[in-house]
């Protein structure tokens, strides 16, 4: 029954709307699947909060930044937790693509007279929506991290979170479409995206890092996402800012989203499901 969703939509709509139907079906399917799995919903919220509480308590006594002595580690790490939620949700939401191919659902999707771009956008927007819902839910706890809602630059913050979600989901789509096993997918993502998050400045300051690490940080798009999210939270000392202009950070994160979607579309067109 689930495999026939896109085909049914195709029979109801005129040809010019088939792509929109495919995007809508894949987007809705990811949301329904997520909320039907209660353990996944619970883990999505509890895991990052536990990570934030444990890490924040463990490093609070030794965390010091020159020029920002009033900031403890929980406050510093909170924007990094938001980025971690985006990262983990992107990984787990696109991993389902491998299961969909095994179960035959993607064969039904590809058999519908819709473009591969709509397949990519449907999965990417579904994962990005889930990532944003979880990030916004955790963002409600910002006062516990030392932030006030009145100080948050909401447009800047949501722009960075949204663009990062789209970019990471598209990267996950490209890797999941290319691989045939969840084990291989986990291995690639653990080597590729998890280290990128760690050296982005989300977990620890990189201002005093060695020269080679500064080069890695400058080349890492997640560094600009982490800095943009931290800047969007507002009320952060100037000593904690990266020095990169706001426009440059937004351009880098937006470029990540565009390039990642283009890469996912290219991989989807070149490979068979």
| 37-51, 93-107, 121-135 — most confident range | 121-135
Q: Which H or E run includes 143?
A: none
In the structure, how many helices (H) and strands (E) does the chain have? 11, 0
State which residues form the domain around 49.
2-270
pLDDT tops 60 at residue 2? no
Read off the pLDDT band of 16 (50, 70, 90): low
- Rounded to the nearest integer, the mean pLDDT of the chain is 82
Cα dihedral 54, 41, 163, 148 sign = negative
Rounded Cα distance, 208 and 111, in Å: 54
Q: Which residue from 158, 192, 157 is spatially nearest to 172, judged by alpha carbons?
A: 192
75-105 pLDDT tens trace:
888 888 999 999 988 888 888 888 888 777 7
Read off the pLDDT band of 252 (50, 70, 90): very high
- Torsion (CA) 154, 155, 160, 164 in degrees, nearest 10: 100
Region of poorest pLDDT, from 133-142, 146-155, 156-165, 199-208: 199-208
Region of poorest pLDDT, from 21-35, 56-70, 169-183, 223-237: 56-70
Question: Could you tell me the CA-to-CA distances from 156 to 65, 160, 252 in Å, in that order?
Answer: 24, 6, 14
Average confidence (pLDDT) over 137-147: 87
Question: In degrees rounded to 5, what are phi and psi of residue 72?
Answer: -95, 175
What's the total number of domains in the chain? 1
- pLDDT for the residue numbered 6: 47
Average confidence (pLDDT) over 27-56: 80
> Tokens standing for 58?
């463990």
Identify the three-state secondary structure at position 203. Answer: coil
Task: Give the side-chain half-sphere CA count within 13 A for 248.
Answer: 8
145-194 pLDDT tens trace:
888 888 899 999 999 999 999 999 999 999 988 888 888 888 888 888 88
Rounded Cα distance, 116 and 119, in Å: 5
């Amino acid at each position: 029954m689930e495999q026939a969703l896109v085909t049914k939509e195709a029979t109801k709509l005129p040809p010019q709307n088939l792509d929109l139907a495919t995007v809508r079906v894949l987007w809705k399917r990811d949301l329904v699947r997520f909320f039907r799995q209660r353990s996944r919903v619970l883990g999505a919220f509890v895991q990052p909060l536990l990570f934030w509480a444990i890490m924040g308590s463990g490093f609070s006594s030794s965390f010091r930044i020159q020029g920002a002595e009033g900031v403890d580690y929980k406050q510093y790490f909170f924007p990094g937790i938001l980025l971690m939620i985006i990262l983990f949700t992107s990984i787990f939401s696109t991993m389902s693509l491998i299961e969909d191919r095994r179960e035959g659902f993607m064969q039904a999707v590809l058999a519908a007279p819709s473009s591969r771009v709509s397949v990519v956008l449907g999965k990417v927007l579904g994962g990005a929506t889930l990532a944003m819902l979880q990030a916004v839910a955790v963002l409600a706890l910002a006062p516990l991290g030392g932030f006030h809602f009145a100080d948050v630059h909401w447009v800047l913050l949501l722009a960075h979170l949204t663009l990062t979600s789209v970019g990471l989901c598209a990267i996950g789509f490209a890797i999941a479409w290319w691989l045939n096993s969840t084990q291989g997918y986990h291995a690639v993502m653990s080597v590729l995206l998890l280290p990128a998050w760690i050296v982005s400045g989300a977990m620890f300051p990189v201002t005093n890092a060695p020269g080679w690490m500064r080069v890695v940080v400058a080349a890492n798009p997640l560094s600009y996402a982490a800095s943009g999210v931290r800047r969007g939270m507002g009320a952060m000392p100037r000593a904690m800012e990266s020095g990169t202009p706001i426009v440059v950070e937004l351009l880098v994160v937006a470029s990540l989203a565009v390039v990642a979607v283009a890469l996912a579309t290219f991989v989807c067109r070149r490979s068979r499901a």
